Every structure is written in structure tokens, then in C-alpha cells.
Structure 1
Amino acid sequence: MDVISIPGLSAASALLGAEVVERKGAGHPDTLADGVAEAISRCYSRYCLDAFGAILHHNTDKTSLLGGAADVRFGHGELTAPIQVLVNGRITAALGDHTIPVADIVTTAAREYLASALPLLDANRWVDVRPRLTQASSPGAVSTPDSDKGEASRQRWFAPRTLDDLAERHRLFSNDTSAGVAYWPLGVAEQVALGVEEQLTSEAFRAEHPYYGTDIKLMVVRHGPRVQLTACVPQIARETPDLDTYVARRAQARDLIGELAATIAPEHHVTVAINTRDVDARPELYLTATGSSIESGDEGVVGRGNRANGLISMLRPWSAEGVSGKNPSYDVGKLYNLAAGEVARRLHAESGLDCAVALVSQSGRDLTDPWQAIVQASGPNAIPNARVRQTVADVMADLPALREQLLDGKLATA
């Protein structure tokens, strides 16, 4: 592992004169796509561990959602066309003679996740799951008379005869050349975006305010002590009897968001705009049957929404990798982004400095030995290379615990 540690992080939270931060809420179509992809990977992985003691090769990180259609009016909301879940990817369908019920796993996981995320959605009726899965190997399998004689060949990547055909059982290596990027601590606008959305989509808030949906989108701009926030907050049609009620609850949501943001950023001046596209006179309003625009033609795609830290922070370093749905055993697009976040947190805790971290993989290299580890810290002095090396090594040694958190659904990927 090459270690590069440099000072002068210009994107440190305390040095950013301005922040531009987006948060796509729990019911946003892109967040739903990430959640579906991760749920399928998690359920498939658990099945494999229970049946075989190992996770077989799979990836569902190209999953997308196509919105349905809905009949929405005051006091009434129902779907009229289903949401389509396009599960694009590759999943091992059998280990030797043991056939895996892939279609059942995929369909059940997708519907259960969407039913949990959108309780007003009848997932059995209005979710159409379309698995589009292959078992083709990635490039590298060159056919020769002897190419399939040995164990763990590329020829057997998605068609293993036994667990010995899983190459990572012999040596755990990086599946790709990629980079995981993260930073810590969060800035004021980032804390506001996360804190407000998490509160508005929490079970307690929804129980108290059943007329708000979860397809909430926040854009937060901070310039010095000034925080400006634009929010999109849907309302549930069947809980909203008329325009006056909608308008009153829109104002209530604006006030609640302002109060929450002021609590998170008490030394800042906060202003809130909400549902700025509404046209009351027509009316054109953010009124929904289920609380999400996925019900009415919107689309969601894995990796298009929040990064692994739950944010889209425009002036910070970040990776374009879609983390959700990737194999938790060895996929660096997932593991290195999450590991980089842990490295940044640990280095900040030890040094008190803001840290940005990039862990760069090299395809085929030992998974726990990144090709490059780059750390940039705030302040005039770099964190010593030896400290960085040890922290990265410690985090890599903890990858099994990270995998368990992923499999238990305790670690967010978007």
C-alpha cells in the first residue's frame, strides 16, 4: 500500500465559506432503488450463507424503478398502474446441483422492502418485479482446452460446481480498479440536511403526522452564517380533504423544518421555502396516494441519489460509485467507500483534524491491501504516514464486522 498524506484540505467543513447539499429522502425513487437493490443482495447473501456457508457471486447494483400511475384527488388516492422493478444484474443461480430460488428471493425482497418503505402501497398488487439477470462471466475467461480443468477459474464465476470454484475462498482480492472516497466531520448544511430528513421520515413523526409522505427532497445552501433550505414535502391524498387543509399543512411543514434546522444550526440564520412548484389556483400540488412520486411516472436508479453517507454534497470529494446492491464479500465499489468513511472518522477522532480519504483499489490485488491510500487533512501539517497506514490496516481488518452490519441492514448504503 502506498500512503500519501498531505495537509491543506480546502474542503474542510470549517473552511468552506459555502455549502451546497442535497438529501433525497427515504421515499424518493432513487433512494427506493438503492434500498431495493441492497435488500435483494442482503436476502440472497443470507440464503447462500444459510445453505452453503458462503456468499455466491452476485450484483444487483444496476436495478431501476419505473413509476406507475395514480388517481389522486382530495380525500382519495389510489394506484392505477403498477410500479415496475427492473432488477438488472447477475446472480449465481445454482451451486452444483443445488438450484437457488433466485426469482422468489428477488421478488419477495423487492416487494417486502417497498411495502416497508411505503406502508400505503399494496406491494403484492402494485409492484411488478422483472428480474433481468444473467450468469455471464466478466471479461477474462479465455476458452482453451485446459481452461476449465482447475478450480476457481473465471469460467466458473457464476456457475460454481462446489465452493472451491469461488476464487475468493482461496484468496480474497479486489474485483475492480476503483476508489472509495469519504470525509469527516460533516458541515453545518450537511448536518441540517440529514437531521431534518431523518426526523420527517421517522416512524414517530409519521405516526404524529400521517398526512405527510416520505418522498422528501432537501436542498440546503449555506453561505457563512446564512442557511437557505428548499424542501419538497408530499402530502397523502386520503388524509387531505381540501385545498385549505393542504395549504395549512404545507405551512406547518415549513415551520417544522425551520424549527428543526434552527435546533441543528442554532448559530445560523435559517430560511425555508417549501413546495415551490405548487400552483394553488389550478391546483397543481404535491399530493400523492402513497407519499412517493414513484407512484406516478417518476423513475429511480441505483447510485443516482445519495452517496454512502446519505448526502449529495456538491463541494466535497465524492465517488460516483453506486454502493447499494454490490457483493459485500469483495466488491471494492461498496467496501472501499464504506471503509474510507470509517478511516476518516478514526483519523479525525485521533487528530482533531478534518480529513478526506481516498482508498484506491487495484483489480486482483489483495482486498485488505489498498493500492493507494490518500489522506488530506486540514491544517498546516499532514497526518504522519505511519498513523494513516495503521488506521487503514485496522479498518481493513474490521471488514468482516462491516459485512455483518451490511447483512443485518444496520449500515446505510445511500
Structure 2
Amino acid sequence: MEVITTTGLTAASALLGVEVVERKGAGHPDTLADGVAEAISRAYSRYCLDEFGAILHHNTDKTSLLGGAADVSFGHGELTAPVQVLVNGRITAALGDHAIPVADIVTTAARDYLASALPLLDVERWMEVRPRLTQASSPGAVTGPDAAEREASRQRWFSPRTLDDLAERHRMFSNDSSAGVAYWPLGIAEQLALGIEGHLTSEAFRAEHPYYGTDIKLMVVRHGPRVQLTACVPQIARETPDLDTYVARRTQARDLITELASRIAPEHHVTVWLNTRDNDSRPELYLTATGSSIESGDEGVVGRGNRANGLISMLRPWSAEGVSGKNPVYHVGKLYNLAAAEAARRLHEETGLDCAVVLVSQSGRDLTDPWQAIVQASGANAIGAARVRRMVADVMDDLGTLREQLLDGKLATA
């Protein structure tokens, strides 16, 4: 592992003079796509562990959602066309003669996730799951007279005869040349985006305010102590009897966000705009049957929304990898982004400096030995290479714990 350390880069600092931060909420179609893909990977992994004691090769990180159609009016909201879940990817369908009920696993995981995320969506009636899965290997499987006899080769990547055909059981290596990127601590705008959306989509808030949906989107711009925040907050049609009620609750939501912002960032002046595309005279409003625009033609795609830390921070370092749905065993697009986050947090705790960490993989290299580790810190002096090397090694040695958190659903990927 080559270690590179630098200092003075403003992007590594939570004290940036300007922040531009977006958060797509729990009910946003892109966030839902991430959640479905990760739920399927988690369910498939659990099945494999229970049946075989090992996770077989799979990736569902190309999953997408196609929106349905809905009829909404004051006091009424229902779907008229189903949401479609396109599960695109590759999943091992059998271990030797043991067939895996892939279609059942995929369909059940997708339905269970969306039923939990959107309780007003009747997933039995208004959701279609369309698995589009293959077992084709990535490039590298070269045929020849002895190909059938090779152990743990590309020929057996998605058609293993036994667990011995899983190459990672012989040597755990990086599946790709990629990079994981993270930083710590969060800036004020980032704290606002996460804190406000998390509160408005929490179970407690939804129980108290059943007329708000969860397809909430926040865009936060901070310039010094001045913060400007635009929020989109849907309302549930059947809980909203008329325009006056909608307008009153829109005002209520803006006041709630303003009050939350004052608690999260008491030393900043926050101005809040809400549902800025509403046109009350027509009316054209953010009124929904289920609380999400996925009901009415919007689409969601894995990796198009929040990064692994739940944010889209325009002026910070970040990776374009879609983390959700990737195999938690060896996919560096997932593991290195999450490991970089842990390394950045630990380095900040040790040094007090604001840190950005980039872990670069090299396809075929030992998974726990990144090709490059780059750390940018906010202090006058760069963090010593020996400290970085030790910290990254410690985090890599703890990948097993990270995987357990993923399988238990305790570690967010979007």
C-alpha cells in the first residue's frame, strides 16, 4: 500500500466557506431504488449463509424503479398503474445441484422493503417485480480443453459446483480497480440536511403527522453564517381535505424545519423555502397518494442519489460508485467507500483534524491491502504516513464487522 498525505485542501475541512448539499429523503425514488437493491443483496446473502455457510456471487446494484400512475384529489388518492421494480444484475442460481429460489428471494425482499418504506403503497396490487438476472461471468473466462477442471476460475463465477469454486475462499482479492472516498466531520449544511430529513421521515414524526409523505428533498446552501434551505415536502391526499388545509400544513412544515434548523445550527441564520413549485391558483401541489413521486411516473436508479454517507455534497470529494446492492464480500465499490468513512472518522478522533480519505483498489490485489491510500487533512502539517498506514490496516482488518453491520441492516449505504 502506497500512502500519500497532504494538507491544506479546503475540501477536507468542515469549515468550508461555502457548502452546497442535497439530501434525497427516505421516500425519494432514487433512495427507494438503493434500498430495494440493498435489501435484495441482504436477503440473498442471508439465504446463502444459512444454507451454505458462505455468500455466493451476486450484484443487484443496477436495480431501477419505474413509476406508476396515480389519481389524486383533496381527500382522495389511489394508484391507477403499478410501480415496476426492475432488478437488473447477476445472481448465482445454484450451488451444485442445490437450486436457489432466486425469484422468490428477490420478489419478497423488494415487496417487504417497499411495504415498509411506503406503508400506503399496496405492494400486492400496485407493484410488479421484474427480475432481469443473468449468470454470465465478467471478462476473463477463457475456454480451453482443461477449463472444466479448473478450480475457482471465471468459468465457475456464477455456476459453482462446490464452495471451493469461490475464488475468494482461496484468496480474498479486489474485484475491480476503483476508489472509495469519505471525509469527517460533517459541515453545518450537511448536518442540517441529514438532521432535518431524518426527523421528518422518522416513525415518531410520521405517527404524529400522518399527512406528510417521505419523498422529501432538501437543498442547502451555506455561505458563512448564512444558510438558505429549499425543501420539498409531500402531503398525503386522503389526509388533506381541501386547499386551505394543504396551505396551512405547508406553512406548518416550513415552521417545523425552521425550528429544527435553529436547534441544529443555532449560530447560523437559516432561511427556509418550501414546495416552491406549488401553484395554489391552478392548483398544482405536491399532493400524493403514497407520499412518494414513484407513484406517478418518476423513476429511481441505484447510485443516482445520495452517496454512502446519505448526502450529495457538491464541493466535497466523493465517489460516483453505486454502493447499494453490491456483494458485501469483496466488491470494493461498496467496501472501500464504507472503509474510507471509518478511517476518516478514526483519524479525526485521533488527531482532531478534518480528514478526507481515498482508498484506491487495484483489480486482483489483496482486498485488505489497498493499492493507494490518500489522506488530506486540514492542519498545518500532514498526518504521518505511518499513522495512516496503521489506521487503514486496522480498518481493513475489521472488514468482517463492517459486513455484519451490512447484513444486519445497521449500516446505511445511501
Shorter-normalised TM-score: what interval? over 0.9
1:224 is matched with which residue? 224
Contact 2:73 2:237 (C-alpha < 8 Å) held by counterparts: yes
The 1-side partners of 2:242 and 2:10 are apart by: 50
AA at the equivalent of 2:73: R
AA at the equivalent of 1:169: R
The 1-side partners of 2:398 and 2:324 are apart by: 20
1:15: how far off?
Answer: 3.7
The 1-side partners of 2:148 and 2:328 are apart by: 26
1:329 is matched with which residue? 329
2:147 is matched with which residue? 147
1:82 is matched with which residue? 82
1:297: how far off?
Answer: 0.2
2:214 is matched with which residue? 214
* Residues 15-414 of structure 1 mapped to structure 2, 5 A cutoff: 15-414=15-414
The 1-side partners of 2:59 and 2:125 are apart by: 26
Q: CA RMSD in A?
A: 0.6
The 2-side partners of 1:321 and 1:171 are apart by: 24
Contact 1:86 1:131 (C-alpha < 8 Å) held by counterparts: yes
**Identity percentage of aligned residues:** 87
Q: Deviations over 1:7-65 (max 9, x none)?
A: 11211434411000000000000000000000000000000000000000000000000
Q: Deviations over 1:177-211 (max 9, x none)?
A: 00000000000000000000000000000000000
Contact 2:360 2:371 (C-alpha < 8 Å) held by counterparts: yes
The 2-side partners of 1:215 and 1:136 are apart by: 36
AA at the equivalent of 1:120: L
Contact 2:19 2:189 (C-alpha < 8 Å) held by counterparts: yes
AA at the equivalent of 2:127: V
Runs of 4+ in 1 over 3 A off after TM superposition: 12-15
The 1-side partners of 2:411 and 2:352 are apart by: 25
Contact 1:9 1:356 (C-alpha < 8 Å) held by counterparts: no
Q: Deviations over 1:47-102 (max 9, x none)?
A: 00000000000000000000000010000001110000000000000000000000
Gaps of 5+ in 2: none
Partner of 1:125: helix, strand, or coil? coil
Partner of 2:42: helix, strand, or coil? helix
1:373: how far off?
Answer: 0.3
The 2-side partners of 1:93 and 1:360 are apart by: 31
Instruction: Tell me which moved more, 309-318 or 119-128.
Output: 119-128
The 2-side partners of 1:150 and 1:330 are apart by: 21
Partner of 2:260: helix, strand, or coil? helix
Whether 1:2 aligns to 2:5 is: no
AA at the equivalent of 1:321: E
Contact 1:9 1:355 (C-alpha < 8 Å) held by counterparts: no
1:150: how far off?
Answer: 1.8
Q: Deviations over 1:306-342 (max 9, x none)?
A: 0000000000000000000000000000000000000
Q: Deviations over 1:258-282 (max 9, x none)?
A: 0001110000000000000000000
AA at the equivalent of 2:233: V
The 2-side partners of 1:15 and 1:168 are apart by: 42
The 2-side partners of 1:251 and 1:112 are apart by: 34
AA at the equivalent of 1:390: R
Contact 1:106 1:131 (C-alpha < 8 Å) held by counterparts: yes
The 2-side partners of 1:12 and 1:362 are apart by: 24
The 2-side partners of 1:117 and 1:375 are apart by: 37
Gaps of 5+ in 1: none
Partner of 1:86: helix, strand, or coil? strand
Count of equivalent residues: 414
Contact 1:85 1:129 (C-alpha < 8 Å) held by counterparts: yes
1:147: how far off?
Answer: 2.0
AA at the equivalent of 2:156: R
Q: Deviations over 1:198-227 (max 9, x none)?
A: 000000000000000000000000000001
What TM-score do the two structures reach when normalised by structure 1? 0.99
Partner of 1:148: helix, strand, or coil? helix
AA at the equivalent of 2:371: W
1:155: how far off?
Answer: 0.2
AA at the equivalent of 1:166: L
Q: Deviations over 1:383-410 (max 9, x none)?
A: 0101000000000000000000000000
Closer, same or farther in 2 for the Cα pair 1:210/1:316, shift >3 Å? same
The 1-side partners of 2:131 and 2:171 are apart by: 31
